[in-house]
Structure 1
Amino acid sequence: MGVSVSRSSLRRAFVLLAVPALLVAGCGGEPVDGGSAVGGADPRVELVRPGTLSTCVRLPFEPFEFRDPDSGEIVGFDIDLGGFIAEELGVEQEIVETSFARITSGADLDDGVCDIAISGVTITEERARDVDFGEPYFNSSQALLAGVHEEITGMADLHGRRLGVKEGTTGEAYAVDHNERNGSLVELVRFPDQTELTSAVRSGLVDAVLSDNGPLYGFARVYRDTSVKVQIDTGEQYGFAVRRGNTALLDVANEVLAAMRADGRHVELHRTWLGVTPNQL
């Protein structure tokens, strides 16, 4: 992570857990009864549960969304961004925990599980066929993390070695493409979540991992026996996603992001959760 997890999130949120055909309130949040919208709610936007902006995330992806071990609250860069959008709408934010596949496929948005997904989702042409993306809010690159004493300067140094990747991510796609172009010289080991992925380096299950740069730099700042060896400029950008055709919500979210860039809140999010400004990544 970018800073101590004891730092409070800039915006609080209720938390829900998405399970098949059912939403269960958690972390002290009250169940949503589908009643009328709270006073002051933006009439331009129809929400799946009136009075709340339901935000889908996949945990953990520190420092963008993760559970604070001290408070138990879900906090992070993406959580705060969603909080600012909810504030503009005049409603509360509730966090819906779900799978990354249901976010990127648009399934949870189409099924009315949530209004918006903000979960470190890289904008790609394939994903844009299933969801509508807003303006990019974070510039990302792929990076290689390994033990601090490892001498790795690129993918070629991992030929004949084991590389960890997270399932369903652009990092996995990049590694698969590398193997297709180079005769499958890197042994890929796939992990279901970010915690298992990064922990595999320290436990020796893999020689290195390939993932988004933000979380890897945060991990290396905490675990000094690891380090980011190289960034791979893939030109990736994170975007929040809504159900296709939900232009009313997308317009408001884009307006909020533009205002955050103008008044400094966007830079402050980077400082708070990554310890750097956007141009320092």
Structure 2
Amino acid sequence: MSARTVLPLVKTVTTVTALTALVLVTTGCTSTKTAGSGGGSQISLVTEGKLTTCTHLPYEPFQFRKGNEVVGFDVDIVDLVAKDLKVTQEIVDTPFEGIQTGEDLNAGKCDLAAAGMTITPVREQNLDFSGPYFDATQALIAKKGSPYISLASLKGKKLGVQQGTTGETYAKKNGAGVETVQFEDVALLLTAVKTGQVDAAINDNGVLFEYVRKNADTAVTAEFDTGEKYGIAVRTGNTALRKKIDEVVKAARADGRYDALYKKWFPAAPKK
């Protein structure tokens, strides 16, 4: 796997606002046209020779740092698209809020967003999603042997949630009497479970099963049938790139490449 450049995240609101304003004035000045392999459609990229991906680290095994590079299931899926376009993938680590609101894509920070992101009606107002490429559901993680096996069992207890996620939404809707504690990313969330800062945490099952595989003192104690599906997002109206993503994923499912990547990154997960 080739190393990838990971650009620094933009932290200040004023900087993002200024960038957005600049892009509105100079839209298209940094784009390059790359011919798609199907139908002759033209795909415009924000940086010549690169397919730039916005994501939020860490979210193992979908995207996380390993040494000096970023690896993961989402990274490999987008690499398939980049290879088809004959470009390389570049990854931008940025807060999840800017991804799901469409702000980063609209500002020209990236071509697409791949962040283990569930397709929801609210997000579809701000983004155009590819077809689903991964089935997920919410799950509960706690210290091994703990009594927290449902949201009801956490009444009066602290439940960790990752801000802006469907897990947070589900917990607040269904966890009557449960105190939710918000964390910016999944690494902080899981550390809070390990250290006892919270009694349990909720997040996507793929991430939690992988964490438990490497942390035997924790356990996935419940799963909730939320029927979630992940999609890769593009800027609203970017039909050419969205269609290309769908084309590549469909081909990968048909020729076995998708299954090989699934087995690589989810060795302990239940059968999909």
SS at match of 2:222: strand
2:271 pairs with 1:280: yes
Divergent runs of 4+, >4 A:
33-38, 40-43
Q: Residue type matched to 1:16 in 2?
A: L
1:144–1:230 CA contact under 8 A, matched in 2: yes
**1:35 positional shift:** 8.6
2:156–2:178 CA contact under 8 A, matched in 1: yes
- The CA deviation string for residues 159-217 of structure 1, in whole angstroms up to 9 with x for no partner, is 111111011100000111114xx3xx101111111001011111011111011001111
2:106 pairs with 1:110: yes
**1:34 positional shift:** 5.0
- The CA deviation string for residues 217-239 of structure 1, in whole angstroms up to 9 with x for no partner, is 11111110000001111000110
Aligned identity (percent) is 44
2:52–2:90 CA contact under 8 A, matched in 1: yes
- The CA deviation string for residues 106-140 of structure 1, in whole angstroms up to 9 with x for no partner, is 01111111000011011000000000000111101
Partner of 2:6: 15
- The CA deviation string for residues 133-168 of structure 1, in whole angstroms up to 9 with x for no partner, is 001111011000001111333111111111110111
1:78-117 to structure 2, matched below 5 A, reads: 78-117=74-113
**1:36 positional shift:** 6.2
Q: TM-score, normalised by structure 2?
A: 0.88
RMSD value, Cα = 2.1
- Of 44, 60, 85 in structure 2, the residue corresponding to residue 46 of structure 1 is 44
Q: Distance in 2 between matches of 1:197 and 1:46?
A: 37
SS at match of 1:280: coil
1:35–1:57 CA distance, 2 compared to 1 (3 A):
closer
Q: Distance in 1 between matches of 2:73 and 2:108?
A: 24
- Of 251, 261, 270 in structure 1, the residue corresponding to residue 262 of structure 2 is 270
Any unmatched runs of 5+ in structure 2? 20-28
**1:18 positional shift:** 3.9
- The CA deviation string for residues 34-57 of structure 1, in whole angstroms up to 9 with x for no partner, is 59678x886621111121110111
2:262 pairs with 1:246: no
**1:244 positional shift:** 0.4
SS at match of 1:209: strand
2:142–2:221 CA contact under 8 A, matched in 1: yes
2:184 pairs with 1:192: yes
Partner of 1:27: none
